[in-house]
Structure 1
Amino acid sequence: MAALVCPDGFQAPPAGVLAVVGARMGELLATRSLLDSVAQSEQAERLQRALYTIADLAGSDLEMSEMLRDLHRIVSELMYAENFYIALYDDHDDSLRFLYFVDLVDQEAPDQDEVIPLSRIERGLSWHLVRGRKPLMGTLQELTTQVDGHLHLHGADSLDWLGVPMIREGEVRGIVVVQSYDQAGRYTQAEMSLLAFVADHILTALERRHGRERLERRVMERTAELALANQDMRREVTERERGERLQAALYRIAELASNEETSAGFYGEVHASVGDLISAKNFYIALLSDDGATVSFPYVVDEHERDWGSRSFGRGLTEYVLRTNQPQLVDAARAEQLMASGEIEGSFVGAPTLVWLGVPLPGPEGPMGVVVVQSYQAGDDYDQRDAELLTFVSRQIASTLLRRRSNQLLHDAYADLERRVEVRTAELREQIAVREEIEARLQHQVMHDSLTNLPNRAYLRDRLERAIAKLRRAGNRRFGLLYVDIDRFKLINDSLGHGVGDAVLKEASQRLASCVREPDLVARLAGDEFCILLEEVQLPETASKVAQRIIKAFDSPLSAGGRNLKVSASIGITVVEKAEGGADAVLHEADQALYRAKERGRNRFELFDPVMQSNAMTVLNLEQGLREALAGEQFVPHFQPLVRLDDGGIVGYEALLRWDHPERGLLAPGEFLQVAEESGLIEPIDWQMFALAMKCSKDLAVDGRFVTLNVSPRLFQRPGFDTRMLALTKEAGFDPASLRLEVTEGMLLGDPDAMVAVLLRLRESKIEAALDDFGTGYSSLGHVHRFPLKMIKIDRSFITPLAGDDSRRSCAVVEAILALGHALGVDIVAEGVETQEQRDKLAAMGCVYAQGYLFGRPQPAHAWARQ
């Protein structure tokens, strides 16, 4: 749109004129717009061509400097750019490198490869362009207002300056700068945008060029690496092929150790194997004799030399290798040196020899020989590598030679051994025959009794095990075992001597053997014990008949030591029907039956009954329980009072043994006392009982009352019994005057004098004695006065009849005992008083003391302490 202004004082033109002017101005404005459009199109076309050219430069083969000059030329076509530079920024070391720098005024241009730290140009325009990350344009004064902080001038001062950063992914990668020294205001905002746009493409072109250069450099480096790797691979393939040939050669040489080929064939194979590794047209093996004086040549292949006979150890090259025990690679020059030093003598092997290579064959005590190759033709020379290879092979050759030598020695030794074995075998056959005869005698001696010549226990056990095995295989083949014992044989030995006893055993063995038939067996176990194994026993009666024959066989007297002796036998029988146990179990069953026969009077036989085993196990379990009760202190004392008949007052207590069984409850002595006596446990039980009874009854033994303890015969007869009893009272804090020990008549009459002495010692210590169960033993009323007794207890067998109609005999005995007690000054106690009638009769007869259920049953001490 255009406007026509008319100044004041002038008259406005006519409307027609205004219309023409308006039309003309419209044409001028349209023309101007077209010209601007054309200029813009030309500018866009130049920019497009510039960008295409920049892109082409990135992929061209131009040198970097030439490419940068072309970039400068392209930018100059778009704007004023006579002063122009491009710099790349490295954020790792915070520096700039000026790839291109052209300035008409500033002559101190940085080198293209120079790295300039930003700290050197701190606060300069380029520094602010990198740090600010935004374009800068204008004069120095204008630029001062565009940057953060101070601005320092580095280089020449320009009139107009335009710089843009090259940014990729938010990071500054470089800068592009143009500047003018002769005209201010050359650069506009449009040119700033244009330069920023071109700078992005310049960065792309530089990155592409750098990427291409890096790729080309990496390709060149990788190509070089591949070339080296290819060379290494070729060497490795060569070495591997050589190693495979070496391995194959070593295998072939090792296999020759067990080969049956002749020596010539063996050496020929060795030569062929070496020839696969190195040139071996001329090859020989030399061996040193055992004494080291001679060198022989068992194998030679040579194109020129013909004389290879054995020779004395001299100064040749072969001997030089043997002396040094080292591989030797010798050419003409080396040979002259060795001859000059006296190491070898004569000419260099043969006239045509060019190179000689020899390595030692290692032996157990030094070199045993030499393997040699030599060359007569140029091109077949050997080097140190061949020497190492041949040295390696020589070890296998030497090892194979030693093995072949050992095999030959072993073969010769075997042949010699076979000859010696044949001779020795004949000698051994004679010795074996003698030894078998001796072993048979020894076996008979080991398995038989020397006195009776009967099989012994070991022989019997073996036969029993075989019989049990047969029973396992065939369950209907029962067998029997008779355990025979000569009755009272110990008496014969003790009275008539062992000579007569041996004669009795010999005669008894013969009579036992006459009672059986084959295949039954009679064996002597030990002493006067014999066993008879009956192989076939279908019924127990069969074994019983044999036992009857044995008893009958001993009916007639035996003649021994000039005497006719009447001997009997006791027999235990077991018939085995099940193979559940071993030989020991069978012997044990027969032994139990024998024990039963001896218990029932001897000169008889008994069959084993499982009840015997059950009873034996019961006794065994009871014995084990007694031992555990001792350890666990399960025995406890119960106390029964002794009272005066006139008023019922308690004068004392009898301590009675009880077993507080953890499972069966409280047990009286009748259930375990016999087992305790037979096993010898009664003594520790008594002492434990005594200590506990004294401890529990200290509060009962007061006001003149006493406590009685029952003492077993075995314990009372022990030496030092009285001393230990007195020590126990002191340990328990019990008054000896309140203690009375109950003994039986049998104990007193066993050794009366000794018993009197013990009782007197006890009385001196204030411990009195009481005679228990009087009237049931072996004593008479006339013997009682010999013993220092404080009290006599009438056995309950005389008290029980007092409650019946016919009590005259019991009353007479009781009255006699009461009279004796009064005469001797001994207290008389009636045991087992259970009824009022018994009490009344005893009181009427003048009995003062009594004991029984009528007055109280045995109870723990604390129960009586409350009364």
Structure 2
Amino acid sequence: MIEAGAIERLQASVRRLEHSDRLQRALFAIADMAASGLDMQSLLEGLHRIISRLMYAENFYIALHDPRRETVRFIYFSDVMDGQVYRPDQEFTAEQLRDTLTLRLIREARPMRGPSNEIVRALGLRQGHGVGTPSVDFMAVPMCRDGRVFGILAVQSYEEGRGYTQSDEHVLAFVAEHVLNAVERKLGQEALERRVAERTRELARANARLQEQVRESERAVHLQATLYRIAALGHGQDSNEAFYRSIHQAVGELLDAESFCIALVSEDGQWLDFPYYVDSSGAELLRRPMGRGMSEYAIRHARTLRLEAEAISALIAQGEVDAATYGTPAISWLGAPLMGARGVMGVVVVQSYRPDLHYTQQDAELLTFVSYQIANTLQRRQQAEALQTLNAELERRVQERTRELRRQVVVRERAQKQLKHQVMHDSLTGLPNRLYLRERLDRALGALKRDPARSFALLYLDVDRFKLFNDGLGHGVGDEVLRIVSARMAECVRSPDIVGRLSGDEFAVLLEDCPQPFSACLVAERIQARMTEAIQVGGRQLHVSVSIGIAMSRRAYRTVDQLLHDADTALYRAKAAGRQRFVLFDESLHASAMNVLDLEQQMRAALEKEQFVAYFQPIVRLADGGVTGYEALIRWRHPEHGMLGPDRFLPAAEETGLIETIDWHMYGLACQAAPELLGRDRILNINISPCHFHSRNFPRRLLDLAARSGVAAHRLCVEVTESSLLSDPDAAAEILGHLHEAGVRIALDDFGTGYSSLSHVHRFPLRTLKIDRSFIEPLGLGPQQQRSTAIVSAVLSLACSLDLDVVAEGVENTAQRDVLLSMGCVHAQGFLFGRPAPAGELMAS
């Protein structure tokens, strides 16, 4: 028994060794076949035979899967039941093989073994759907690499007793990878051979095309070189005969040109010239009228013509060509028109008298190309000849034009000088204008920077009361006044000093060499003294004066505008000081101007922050001290300087133009407090600045403001000063008239201090006269009160006769009150009766 068991084990070991040996030989055989030169079908049949030696494989197929394209090919299929149902080159998509056993096995990527029906059920496929004839036993293994399935190997048996074991499955799986390698190697080899063959065919075709291109290129290079030679001939200096001979030689390199001629149409189109010809028949071509020759025929058709003897005979028979003009008959004739800018300018002809020489279509195309170059070259030579003629003519015309331009330049220079004088000078006075003066000032500042010792001075002048001359006597008189003033100013300066008119009645004097302010002041005095003489204009004797601002040059000046600004500031101070005087600018004036600018900014901020407030001073009856009204007065609650009176900021407000805005702000505050402050019968007095007389809408705006606040028109009293009425009496009368018609009272403030108080009483609709405090202050002081008493008494008598109310201003003690009572004065206001205070304080008291 022991020996029998040992023998059995030895036999099993021998069988395994034999199986391993068969398997090893099979793998070697597969590798040899893959490296052999067999075609694919022979390789696959050999693989079938090798596998058949390892197991039962009569029914065997190989399916390749393309994972990228999702397709399947049955490159080998052998089956005793189903036959050859698939072609090796046929490719199936995944959709076409849907629900088939092969596609499902590829996607499962694992070996399957057993009866085909059981495998179909295990894979969830429908029975009999795309699986071929059911087999007794079926075995398939995937062909994988790097975890990806590239196909399957499958064997099947239709006979009972012939099946597959686990060992067969291991053998087939082991062989599958080597089969895949062999198949892919053969497929790659075949693909490479196909690509090599295709590439070889492509290279052969490309080589043929290249050789043809080389030949064409050589022909094109030859043609191009010839065309270049012909084009270059047009730039040469050869004679016409040499030029045409060179063209003939160039054409002869392209085609047979034994007989060659160039015919040109004359400028008038009536003649045909033959500047060059060579004819092998010995014919002579002479200039002739345009007729019925072959050259004329080509010119008429304006295209290249290639004609044989028969066609030429037909043209002669039809009368298109005259045989006498044509000359010796040609076997082959070729002519190309020479196209110019204005049509056909001629023709180039080659012709053959030999039976063996006929021109081809290629010759016609070559001659056509050549004709273009010949035509261009001929045109260039003709243009060059014409250009020489034109240059000679142009040179003659240039000389004539140069002489004419020289004459025009002289005239233009005179005109430019005159125009520059007009641009830089004032047309009315003939003086230099602002532009000229700025240019001189700019040069003077530049010289000062280079040499600080070269000081100069600028006098800024303004004619006093010139508006009265213009408005009262007319612009003609005003213009004459300006001419006389400018002439007198010019008399007061010396060269190189200049007098210029800036605008209107403003003038300037530039003293270029003025090291001391004293010298500038002397010139200013001389000008003002010269102006004191009366002038006769328009039948009137007028007296003219000027105010002068002087600015001395300083190194601090960087621009002309800075200098003009300082001179204008000095002029403003001179006019404010009473006119007919001069003021020398210094740093104090600059500081004052800057203070006004700073104050302007502060006032604008005060308006935004509502720092302006309304104060009220009572107006009382002298008899019992009863309050009859209040005068609204403005105050500024300054954040740094405390409560400021109007004398601290109103002059600056008038100068900067803010007075109107501040007034309306004040009117709104006064009207807002008026209903509770006035009660039933008191009056609210408000002051009007002269600027409001320029607005025709002022009455309506003021009445609307009062109405919105609940203040009736008859409870308002507007106070105007005599000086404000002088600015524009007509406008003031119109504005005050509208207010009077609406029921507003009109009061004349500071009565007695103006120039024509009585005329104001007569002209304006006044209701009240307010006697200035300067007449009230002396009352009660014994001998000093006599003159004031007389004036006050006169005012009271005048008011009584005109039925006007009188208010005495500035009553500060009981003595003044008693005197006024004894004189019959009814109303007064002053510190004796109450200081200005906010409305809340007055109502609380």
- Asked if 1:708 is matched to 2:685, the reply is yes
Deviates more, 1:855-864 or 1:797-806: 797-806
* Secondary structure of 2:452's aligned partner: coil
- 1:368 corresponds in structure 2 to 345
Letter in 1 for 2:830: G
- Equivalent positions of 1:110-129 (< 5 A) are none
Q: Distance in 1 between matches of 2:385 and 2:143?
A: 87
Tell me the matched-pair count: 829
* 345 and 50 in structure 1: CA distance in 2 versus 1, 3 angstrom threshold: farther
**CA shift digits 1:699-755 (9 cap, x unpaired):** 222232222233457868999998987677556542344333445567899999999
Which of the pair has more CA radius of gyration? 1
* 178 and 660 in structure 1: CA distance in 2 versus 1, 3 angstrom threshold: same
Letter in 2 for 1:418: E
* Secondary structure of 1:697's aligned partner: helix
- 2:62 corresponds in structure 1 to 88
Q: CA deviation at 1:697?
A: 0.8
1:475 to 452, 462, 465: 452
Letter in 2 for 1:89: A
1:858 to 823, 836, 839: 836
Q: Distance in 2 between matches of 1:66 and 1:800?
A: 147
- Equivalent positions of 1:370-409 (< 5 A) are 370=347, 391=368, 395=372, 398-399=375-376, 401-409=378-386
- 2:810 corresponds in structure 1 to 832
**CA shift digits 1:589-630 (9 cap, x unpaired):** 556656655666676654344544555666678789989999
Q: Distance in 2 between matches of 1:366 and 1:561?
A: 81
1:694 to 671, 675, 698: 671
Deviates more, 1:541-550 or 1:674-683: 674-683
* Secondary structure of 2:616's aligned partner: strand
**CA shift digits 1:200-232 (9 cap, x unpaired):** 766655554444333322221222122223334
* 530 and 162 in structure 1: CA distance in 2 versus 1, 3 angstrom threshold: closer
Q: CA deviation at 1:168?
A: 1.5
Q: Distance in 1 between matches of 2:568 and 2:168?
A: 134
Q: Distance in 2 between matches of 1:100 and 1:845?
A: 154
Q: CA deviation at 1:322?
A: 3.5
Q: Is the 8 A contact 2:699 2:735 kept in 1?
A: yes
* 726 and 155 in structure 1: CA distance in 2 versus 1, 3 angstrom threshold: closer
Q: Distance in 1 between matches of 2:397 and 2:388?
A: 14
**CA shift digits 1:308-347 (9 cap, x unpaired):** 5555545566545444444445566876787787766769
* Secondary structure of 2:676's aligned partner: coil
Letter in 2 for 1:168: M
* Secondary structure of 2:677's aligned partner: coil
* 617 and 148 in structure 1: CA distance in 2 versus 1, 3 angstrom threshold: closer
Q: Distance in 2 between matches of 1:459 and 1:55?
A: 110
Q: CA deviation at 1:477?
A: 1.8
Q: Is the 8 A contact 1:748 1:755 kept in 2?
A: yes
Q: Is the 8 A contact 2:612 2:634 kept in 1?
A: yes
Q: Distance in 2 between matches of 1:50 and 1:199?
A: 12
* Secondary structure of 1:537's aligned partner: coil
* 816 and 560 in structure 1: CA distance in 2 versus 1, 3 angstrom threshold: closer
Q: CA deviation at 1:496?
A: 11
**CA shift digits 1:670-693 (9 cap, x unpaired):** 345456667888678667755653
Q: Distance in 2 between matches of 1:511 and 1:108?
A: 137
- Asked if 1:795 is matched to 2:772, the reply is yes
- 1:541 corresponds in structure 2 to 518
- Equivalent positions of 1:5-154 (< 5 A) are 52-62=28-38, 84=58, 86-89=60-63, 96=74
* Secondary structure of 1:213's aligned partner: helix
Q: Distance in 2 between matches of 1:80 and 1:757?
A: 136
Q: Distance in 2 between matches of 1:335 and 1:237?
A: 38
TM-score relative to the length of structure 2 = 0.72
Q: Is the 8 A contact 2:74 2:86 kept in 1?
A: no
Q: Distance in 2 between matches of 1:758 and 1:209?
A: 119
Q: Is the 8 A contact 2:64 2:150 kept in 1?
A: no
- 2:631 corresponds in structure 1 to 654
- Asked if 1:642 is matched to 2:616, the reply is no
* 408 and 751 in structure 1: CA distance in 2 versus 1, 3 angstrom threshold: closer
Q: Is the 8 A contact 1:770 1:791 kept in 2?
A: yes
Q: Distance in 1 between matches of 2:129 and 2:471?
A: 141
Q: Is the 8 A contact 2:331 2:355 kept in 1?
A: no
Letter in 1 for 2:836: P
Q: Is the 8 A contact 1:123 1:151 kept in 2?
A: no
- 1:18 corresponds in structure 2 to none
Q: CA deviation at 1:416?
A: 0.6
- Asked if 1:168 is matched to 2:146, the reply is no
* 704 and 280 in structure 1: CA distance in 2 versus 1, 3 angstrom threshold: same
* 828 and 402 in structure 1: CA distance in 2 versus 1, 3 angstrom threshold: same
Q: Distance in 2 between matches of 1:120 and 1:772?
A: 117
**CA shift digits 1:521-577 (9 cap, x unpaired):** 455678887655433222233334444555666788889999999987765544334
* 475 and 228 in structure 1: CA distance in 2 versus 1, 3 angstrom threshold: farther
Q: Is the 8 A contact 1:818 1:847 kept in 2?
A: no
Deviates more, 1:709-718 or 1:460-469: 709-718
**CA shift digits 1:1-59 (9 cap, x unpaired):** 36xxxxxxxxxxxxxxxxxxxxxxx7x99999999988887787676656545544444
- 1:224 corresponds in structure 2 to 201
Q: Is the 8 A contact 2:74 2:88 kept in 1?
A: no
Deviates more, 1:702-711 or 1:336-345: 336-345
- Equivalent positions of 1:227-266 (< 5 A) are 227-236=204-213
* 292 and 690 in structure 1: CA distance in 2 versus 1, 3 angstrom threshold: same
Letter in 2 for 1:831: E
Q: CA deviation at 1:653?
A: 0.8
Q: Is the 8 A contact 1:129 1:164 kept in 2?
A: no
- Asked if 1:212 is matched to 2:194, the reply is no
- 1:669 corresponds in structure 2 to 646
- 1:422 corresponds in structure 2 to 399
TM-score relative to the length of structure 1 = 0.70
Q: Is the 8 A contact 2:796 2:806 kept in 1?
A: no
Letter in 2 for 1:700: L
Letter in 1 for 2:143: R
- Asked if 1:519 is matched to 2:519, the reply is no
Q: Distance in 2 between matches of 1:782 and 1:145?
A: 138
* 134 and 417 in structure 1: CA distance in 2 versus 1, 3 angstrom threshold: closer
Letter in 1 for 2:62: L
* 85 and 538 in structure 1: CA distance in 2 versus 1, 3 angstrom threshold: same
* Secondary structure of 1:700's aligned partner: helix
**CA shift digits 1:56-106 (9 cap, x unpaired):** 44444456666677667767877898xx465333556667465667x7xx8
Q: CA deviation at 1:419?
A: 0.8
* 364 and 844 in structure 1: CA distance in 2 versus 1, 3 angstrom threshold: same
Q: Distance in 2 between matches of 1:740 and 1:42?
A: 143
Q: CA deviation at 1:442?
A: 6.7
Q: Distance in 1 between matches of 2:186 and 2:824?
A: 149
Q: CA deviation at 1:652?
A: 1.7
Q: Is the 8 A contact 2:61 2:74 kept in 1?
A: yes
* Secondary structure of 2:514's aligned partner: coil
